[in-house]
Chain A
Amino acid sequence: MDYIVKRTGFALMTLFVAISLNFVLFRAIPGGAVSGLRCQHCSVKFREAIIKQYGLDKSKWEQYVVYLDRLGHGDLGTSIADNRPVWDDIRQPLVNTLPMIVAGTVISVLLGVLAGVVAAWRRGTLMDTANTWTALAFYAAPTQWIGILVVFYIALPLGLPAAGIESNTLSIFGPPSTWAFVTDRANHLLLPALTLGIGLYGEYALIVRSSMLETLGEDYVLTARAKGLKNWAIVWKHGLRNAMLPLVTLIALSFGYIVAGAIVVEDVFSYPGIGLATINAIGRQDYPVLQGIFLLLTVAVIVANFAADLLYFKLDPRVTT
C-alpha cells in the first residue's frame, strides 16, 4: 500500500512539474506568444487588443495563476490561429490517433512475441541470430524512414492507401454504414500502424526471447518436454507466462515512444492525428494549441508510467520502495 501511495504522490508531483514546465516553456518564446496571431490584415492597435484579450499583457505570475485556474476547470486555453477552444481543436486528432496507437502496439506485440519465441526456441542457430538482429535493426531505424520504405515497397506496388484517415468520398453523401466506415478506416490505418509496429517490435522480441530462454532451461520444462507435451503448449504454458510481467509493463512504458513515433508516421502518411496537429500548430505558431497538445501527451505518458507501476506491483508484490 505504501508503494502505491508513494507512486501516486510521485505521479501527481510530476504532473505539477509538467504543467509548470509547460507554462514556463511557452513564455520563453522569442517574439512572444502572439507571433502566430492571424494578423495579416490588422493594425498594430488591433494586435494590442488581441494581446490583451489573451491576457498576455499581465505579469507572468498573474498569467501563471490564471493558467492554473483555467486548467483546473479543464480549460486548455484558446487557439491563436482560429480562436476556438484548444480542446475543440485537438479532440478530433486525439480520437484519430488513438486507434493507430492501439493497432501499432498490437502489431508490435504480435511481431515481438512471434520473433521472440522463434528466436528462443531455435536459440544459438542462424535463425536466432538473424531474427534477433533484424528486430534490433528495425528498432534502431528511424520510424519515418521505415514509413517511407513502407510507402515505397508496400503501398505503391500493392495499391494500398498511403494517405489520410479515410477515403475522400466516404462520408460525402451522409454518414456511411458502420461496416463501410470501419473497413475504410482500418484500410487506412493498416500501413501507419504497421510502420509503428515494425519500428517497435524489437524490444518486445528481446524480452520474450530472454524470458523464454530463462524458463526453457528449467527442470519442469525439460520434464514437460520429456512427457511429450506439444511444443506450442510448452511455449504457452511456461515460456510466455513468464514473459507476461515484463511484457505487459513494457507496453505501458512504451507509450511515450509510440506517441513519438506516431508524430512522424502521421507526417509521412498525411494522417490527421495528433502528430499532424502538432506539426500544424508549429507551422502556424499556434502556441496555445501546442501547449495543450504537449500537456495532454505528458499527462498520458505520466498516467501510462503510473499504470506500469501499479501493474508491476499487482503482478509482482515483492516490489518495495
Chain B
Amino acid sequence: MSASIQAPPVPDPLGAPAAVAPTRRGFMRELLFGSRQTVVGLAVIAFFVVIAVLAPDIVPHSVTQQTGPVYGAPNGHHLLGTDDGGIDMLSEVIYGARVSMLVGFAASVVCMVLGGLVGVLSGYFGGKTDIVLMRITDYFLVIPDVPLMIIAAAIFGRSLLNIIIIIGVIYWTSTARLLRAQVKSLRERVYVQRARSLGAGHSRLIGSHIMPQIAPLIVANTVLTIATAIFAETYISFLGLGDPSAISWGKLIQNSLTGGAVFHSAWWAIIPPGACVTVVILACTMVGQALEDSLNPRLRVGHLSVRRFRMRPFSARIESR
C-alpha cells in the first residue's frame, strides 16, 4: 500500500530496547527483560493472567449472590465495597479479569490464525495469491471497525463466543499485513532458497523454516491484539451488546452507569473496572511494542514517521498502511 517513505527514525517515547540480534536464547532474554518497561508490562500481564485463571478460587465473595448492602462503601469485609446489586465489587473485578482476559486472548488467537494464514500464504506464495489476498485485506482495513463490530454484535446476538469471533474477524487484517511483509523477506533469504532447491515442499518450508522465524513476531502481535480486543469488548458491553451473563470489565463499567453509581458517590463501583482496563492495555502495549520493535526494526519507521500506539482498535489499521 501507500507510504513507503523513509522518514528519519524517531526516538521512541516508550524507550523500547534497541534491536539486538545475537544468539536466540540471549536474544529472547534481552528482548523480554532488556528494558524496565517490558519487565513491568510482563509482570502486570502475568498478574492479571494469574488472577483470571484463579478467579473462582480467590474471589472473596459470590458474584451472583447479594452479600452486602446496595453500594456499601469499602470496608474490611468488602475491600472494594459493593455494587448496585449488593454484590462484592472486588469479586466482580476479579471475575471481570477472567472474562476480559479470555476475550482478549481468545480474540487475538482468532486474529492470529486468520491473519497469520492470510499473511503467510500471501507472503510466501506471492504473485496472484498475494495480490488477491492483500486487496481483500486492504479493503477491510479501511472499513471502520467499531461501527462494524457494533452492528455485527447486534446482528449475531449477544454471546461471549460471538464477541470473540467478531473481534477476531475484524482485527485480522493488520496482522496479515504485518506477517506478509516479514514472510516475504524471509522467503528471499538464502537458506530458504537453499532448502527449496533441495526439494523441500511448501508445508515443510513454511513449517520448519518460516514459522520459527516469525513466531516471536506473532507473539508480539498477539500481545498487542489482546489490548485491542479488551478495549473493543468494553465498547460492545457498554452498548448492551455483550453477553449479559458474563461479568467483564466492560459490563462493570456499564453497570456503574445504569446502576446509578454516580449519585451514590460510589467511586469504588466506577473506578476499578476502567482502571484495570487502562492498566492492562498499557502493559500489553509496552510489551508488545518493545517486542515488535526489536524483532522488526523496519516497523519503527512506520507510516507517517509516527509510531502509533496500538491500544485503539483503529490504530492497528494505520500502522500497516
Q: Mark A residues whose CB is within 8 Å of B.
A: 3, 7, 10, 13-14, 17-18, 21, 25-26, 28-30, 132, 136-137, 139-142, 144-146, 148-149, 151-152, 156, 202-203, 206-207, 209-211, 213-214, 245-246, 249-250, 253-254, 256-257, 259-260, 263-264, 267-268, 278-279, 282, 285, 290, 293-294, 297-298, 301-302, 305, 309, 312, 316, 318-321
Contact = CB atoms under 8 A, between A and B. Distances in A.
A29 B8 contact: no
A142 B3 CA distance: 30
Contact of B274 (A141, A260, A316): A141
Contacts of A282: 150, 154, 239, 241
A25 B143 contact: no
Contacts of B240: 279
9 contacts: A17-B143, A139-B312, A140-B278, A142-B278, A149-B270, A203-B308, A214-B11, A250-B306, A312-B304
B140 to A, nearest CB: 8
A249 B304 contact: yes
Nearest to A16: B139
B130 to A, nearest CB: 15
A122 to B, nearest CB: 13
B13 A18 contact: no
Interface stretch (B41-49, B103-111, B249-257): B249-257
Contacts of B3: 312, 319, 321
Given A260-B144, A309-B2, A214 B10 contact: yes
Given A279-B239, A282-B239, A30 B262 contact: no
B33 interface: no
Interface stretch (B81-89, B177-185, B205-213, B230-238): B230-238
A25 B155 contact: yes
A18 B139 CA distance: 8
Interface of B: 1-5, 8, 10-11, 13, 138-140, 142-148, 150-152, 154-157, 227, 231, 234-235, 238-241, 250, 253-254, 256-257, 261-262, 267, 270-271, 273-274, 277-278, 281-282, 285, 304-309, 311-315, 317-318
Given A151-B262, A319-B2, 19 more contacts: A3-B2, A25-B151, A26-B155, A29-B155, A148-B256, A203-B315, A246-B305, A246-B306, A256-B146, A256-B314, A257-B312, A259-B144, A263-B146, A263-B147, A293-B147, A298-B143, A309-B2, A316-B5, A319-B3
B152 A267 contact: no
A31 B295 CA distance: 48
Nearest to B146: A260
A250 B307 CA distance: 11
B146 A259 contact: yes
A3 B4 CA distance: 12
A87 B148 CA distance: 19
B228 to A, nearest CB: 11
What 6 pairs across the A-B complex have the smallest Cβ distances?
A260-B146, A145-B274, A140-B281, A17-B139, A142-B234, A301-B144
Contacts of B261: 148
B309 A210 contact: no
B273 to A, nearest CB: 8
A242 B254 CA distance: 41
B144 A209 contact: no
Contacts of B282: 136-137, 140
Interface-centre pick from B144, B155, B227, B257 (highest chain A CB count, 10 A): B144
Nearest to A318: B5
Given A13-B139, A17-B139, A30 B157 contact: yes
A137 B278 contact: yes
Contacts of A29: 155
Given A282-B239, A320-B4, A25 B144 contact: no
A290 B154 CA distance: 10
A203 B152 CA distance: 28
A133 to B, nearest CB: 8
Nearest to A249: B304
Contacts of B254: 144
A297 B144 contact: yes
A260 B147 contact: yes
A187 to B, nearest CB: 20
Given A10-B138, A140-B278, A256 B145 contact: yes
Contacts of A210: 10-11, 13, 306-307
Contact of B235 (A28, A132, A250, A264): A264
